[in-house]
Chain A
Amino acid sequence: MILATEPSLSDVYSVVEEVWTTFLGPDEPIYPAGAEQVPAELGGYDAAITVTGAWQAVVLVSLPVPLAEAITRAMLGMDDEEALAGDDLTDALGELVNVIGGNVKSLMAGPSKLSLPLVARGPMSSSSSLVEACRLDLGWRGHVLTVIVSVPANPTSEDPS
Chain B
Amino acid sequence: MHALIIDDSRTMRSILRRIVTELGYETTEAANGQEALDALEGGLLPDLCLIDWNMPLMDGYTFVTRVRAEPQWRNLTLMMVTTESEHGQIVRALAAGAHEYVIKPFTPDAIVEKLELLGLAAREVPA
A contacts, CB < 8 Å to B:
18-19, 22-23, 72, 75-77, 87-88, 91-92, 94-95, 98-99, 101-103, 105-106, 110-112, 114, 116
Query: Which residues of the other chain, A, contact B41 by a CB distance below 8 angstroms?
Result: none
Number of A-B contacts (CB under 8 A): 63
B54 at the interface (CB under 8 A from A): yes
* B8 is an interface residue with CB less than 8 A from chain A: yes
Q: CA of A6 to CA of B9 in the docked complex: distance in angstroms?
A: 28
The contact string, 1 if C-beta is below 8 Å from chain A, for chain B 12-34, is 10110010000000000000000
* Interface of chain B: mostly helix, strand, loop or mixed: loop
Minimum distance in angstroms from B108 CB to a CB of chain A: 10
**Of A22, A87, A106, the contact of B85 (CB 8 Å cutoff):** A106
The 9 residue pairs across chains A and B that have the minimum distance between CB atoms:
A102-B83, A22-B105, A95-B9, A106-B85, A92-B11, A110-B86, A95-B11, A99-B104, A91-B10
Residue B105 contacts which of A87, A91, A99 (CB distance < 8 angstroms)?
Answer: A99
For B106, the chain A residues whose CB sits under 8 A away are: 22
With a cutoff of 8 Å between Cβ atoms, the chain A residues found around residue B107 in the complex are 22
Task: Tell me, in angstroms, the Cα distance from A116 to B10 when the chains sit together.
Answer: 14
Q: A88–B10 Cα gap in the complex (Å)?
A: 8
The one of B83, B85, B88, B89 in contact with A98, judged by C-beta atoms closer than 8 angstroms, is: B83
- Kindly state whether residue B84 has any CB partner on chain A within 8 Å: yes
Contact across chains for B105 and A18 when beta carbons are under 8 A apart: yes
CB neighbours of A102 from chain B (8 A): 82-85, 104
A-B residue pairs in contact (CB < 8 Å), sample of 12? A22-B107, A75-B14, A76-B11, A77-B15, A91-B11, A94-B9, A98-B9, A102-B83, A102-B85, A103-B85, A105-B83, A106-B85
